[in-house]
Amino acid sequence: MKKKAVALVLAAAMTFGLTACGGGGDSAGTDNASGAAAESADGGAESAEGGSEAGGEAAAAGNTYFDELQHLVVAFPTWTGAPADTQMVTDAVNEILREKYNIEVEFQISDSGSYNQTITLALSSGQQVDIMSTLFANYSNMVNQGYLMDLEEDGLFQTYGQGIQGVIDQKYIDACRVGGVLYGITNTRDYAVGRGCISVGTEFLDAIGYEAPADAEEIIPITEEELEDIFARLHAQFPDLEVYRPADNDLVQQTLVDQIGGNNFGVLLGSSDELKVVNLFETDEYMNFCKRVYNWNQLGYISKDAAADTTNVIVLVKEGVLMAYGTGGKPGSKVQESTGADKDMTIFQTREDYVSSSAVASYPWAIPISTANPEAAMVLMNELYTNPELADLIIYGIEGTHYEITEDGFLDANAGTSPDTFSTLNWLYPNQFASTVIVGNTADLWERTAQFNEEARQSPASGFAFDSTNIATEQTAVTNVYDEYRKSLEFGFVDPEVAIPEMLQKMNSAGLQKIIEEKQAQLDAWAASK
């Protein structure tokens, strides 16, 4: 690697790390998951609310200026693909990176539905990808297929990732290890999720005369019976509109299922504190979920094209053809969903707040083995985690064009002069807590997020990481069976009383029980080692 070391300010970076990480834990840690979440969120909040300068200085840990311009490819998904002004934002990002490191980036942005296929094709064909999000790409699968780099090989992370270690507690980092190897870095965000949350257009609720409780907060707790009544009234009032559109992740969002290893082939039930891996497809939880959606489909709440149509629910809401969809609840959900839909949304919740075992390591950021320059890739990743200016640029676009900063310091995404908004999945960004809080929220959003993580129901397996190496063949076979039935069952198009037994029989023949046994064995060993 041709490079000129300007400085490796390791002492300064380590000092920052001690400051940012003191006094907490992490939500995937083996000691106290929720306490660790508070620590990470507190550190992130410092970056967002006055500690931004410190976060930027932390990036100096790998402050390496390259003699030759390094062109790096960064891949990640958004709901709808690359925003219209992606090149404009890329140019602004590169102004910063060229001056500081002699690095330039190219963003490869895919929509959520095609990202897995796109990134898998790129990696399998040896195309250059230097940094990638594993959202929608299945982190463990990426590892098992040999696509991701060991970030600690030759001291890569230790040398060039010092800033990351200053904003993320070590326990969070360790939660992303697979077989003891660090292949990815978690992003800072809400690790807890409000399960059973439904986002409904407020204009439609107004039309049916719904009145929220006088003391209602941004997320309104209701019973499933109350939700059924609201859906029935919406359908009666607007018979030509789709009441609800299921999504691929509805099963997780609408139930208390803990996906061990990031899939449904052996899970923990959130209603239990036992480390007992169960066959989800034999449970009342799965049957009742499918029956509920099937009933909605039979009542005409779900479009007949829902299973085949890949249009994102946010787009359908914007187009005025969809009234409600499932989402994950958290502090700031109402603002987030309303901003995305370009209209006021009301958030209901029927289940608990929950931190799953894989919450921290669900979709880490990683460096593929196809990277052109591992050192430059890690320097860039470090900068993404520590530079507040880049956070706002990549998440929201350019100030004055795509957003404005209000007098009291909030980001107003609706105040830009450009008709084309620039936005990604803000919670996907490496360090969301480095970004400016969106208008409509309170200034203590990141602190509230920390509290949310701390108070949520905790999976007894928090911090456990499953290694699927021993059952890779069975997992592929079972996945193929699941793919045959999943959408028809979980979008409500077939009778679950008939389809679930059929699917289960095929899954068992494909090796489902072996997967469950392997998960239980690894979970028992993990518990015994604590």
Chain segment 297-354, per-residue pLDDT in tens: 999 999 999 999 989 899 999 999 999 999 999 999 998 899 889 899 999 999 999 9
Does some domain include residue 365?
yes
Closest by Cα among 55, 50, 49 to 21: 55
Please give the single-letter amino acid code of residue 202: T
181 part of a folded domain? yes
Dist. CA 424–CA 348, nearest whole Å:
24
In this prediction the pTM is 0.71
CA geometry: angle at 514 spanning 512 and 519, to 5°? Answer: 100
Residue 111 is part of a domain; what is its CATH number? 3.40.190.10
Which range among 11-20, 209-218, 392-401 shows the weakest confidence by mean pLDDT?
A: 11-20
CA nearest 285: which of 263, 327, 254?
Answer: 254
Q: For residues 517 and 483, is the Cβ–Cβ distance under 8 A? A: no
* Higher per-residue confidence, 418 vs 144: 144
What gap in Å lies between CA 25 and CA 32, rounded to an integer? 6
Distance of CA 354 to the CA centre of its chain: 14
Which tens digit of pLDDT belongs to each residue from 165-190?
A: 988 888 789 888 887 899 999 998 88
Count Cβ atoms below 10 Å from residue 180 Cβ, excluding itself.
8
What's CA 218's distance to the chain center, in Å?
21
469 or 196, higher pLDDT: 196
Residue with tokens 């890949």: 310
Number of continuous H segments (helices) and E segments (strands) in the chain: 21, 20
Compute the distance between CA of residue 37 and CA of residue 42 in angstroms, rounded to an integer: 8
94 Cβ neighbours under 8 A, 6+ residues apart: 104, 105
* CA–CA dist 180, 401 (Å, integer): 45
* Letter string b/e over residues 373-382, b meaning 16 or more CB atoms within 10 A of that residue's CB: bbbbbbbbbb
Residue 195 located in a structural domain:
no
When pLDDT is cut at 50, 70 and 90, the band that residue 31 belongs to is very low
Measured in residues, the chain has a length of: 530
43 confidence band (pLDDT: 50, 70, 90):
very low
394: Cβ contacts below 8 Å, ≥ 6 apart? 89, 93, 384, 424, 429
Q: What is the pLDDT of residue 33?
A: 29
Structure letter (DSSP) for residue 417: S
2 or 13, which is more confident:
2
- Across 112-191, the runs of DSSP E, i.e. the strands, are 131-133, 177-178, 181-182, 184-185
CA-nearest of 35, 118, 33, 24 to 76 is 118
Distances (CA, A) of 172 to 175, 209, 440: 5, 45, 29
Cβ atoms 104, 69 nearer than 8 A: yes
pLDDT, tens digit, 9 for 90 and up, residues 98-134? 999 999 999 999 999 899 999 999 999 999 999 999 9
Reference 295, options 476, 493, 115, 470; nearest CA is 493
Q: 437: which DSSP letter?
A: P
Q: Helix, strand, or coil here: 35? A: helix
* Number of other CB atoms surrounding residue 159 within 10 Å: 18
In a domain, 53, yes or no: yes
Residue 161 lies in a domain: yes
- Could you tell me the pLDDT band of residue 474, with boundaries at 50, 70 and 90? very high
Torsion of CA 131, 135, 139, 145, to 10 degrees: -70
Domain-embedded: residue 445 = yes
Say if residue 447's pLDDT is above 90.
no
Do residues 42 and 24 touch, judged by C-beta distance below 8 A?
A: yes
289 part of a folded domain: no
Check residue 323 and give its pLDDT: 98
Q: Map tokens 């009291």 to a residue.
A: 408
Q: What phi, psi does 154 have (nearest 5°)? A: 60, 25
Q: Is residue 449 part of a domain?
A: yes
Say how many Å lie between the first and final Cα of the chain, rounded: 41
Paired strand residues for 355: 458
Cα–Cα distance for residue pair 169/39, rounded to 1 Å: 7
pLDDT score for 339 = 85
| CB-CB neighbours of 473 under 10 Å | 11
H-assigned helices in 270-407: 284-298, 313-318, 333-341, 374-386, 388-396
Domain containing 68: what range?
4-189+361-458
Model confidence band, residue 387 (pLDDT cutoffs 50, 70, 90):
very high
Residue 20 banded pLDDT, cuts 50, 70, 90: very low
- Count of structural domains within the chain: 1
28-57: average pLDDT: 34
CA 468/CA 237 separation, integer angstroms:
49
Q: Residue 102 and residue 478: Cα distance in Å, rounded? A: 47
- For the stretch 247-287, pLDDT in tens is 988 999 999 999 998 899 999 998 888 999 999 999 999 99
- Whole-angstrom Cα distance, residue 489 to residue 503? 10
Q: What is the mean pLDDT of the chain?
A: 86
| Partners of residue 72 on adjacent β-strands | 105
Instruction: Give the CB-side neighbour count of residue 84, counting CA atoms within 13 A.
Output: 6
Whether the predicted pLDDT of 56 surpasses 70: no
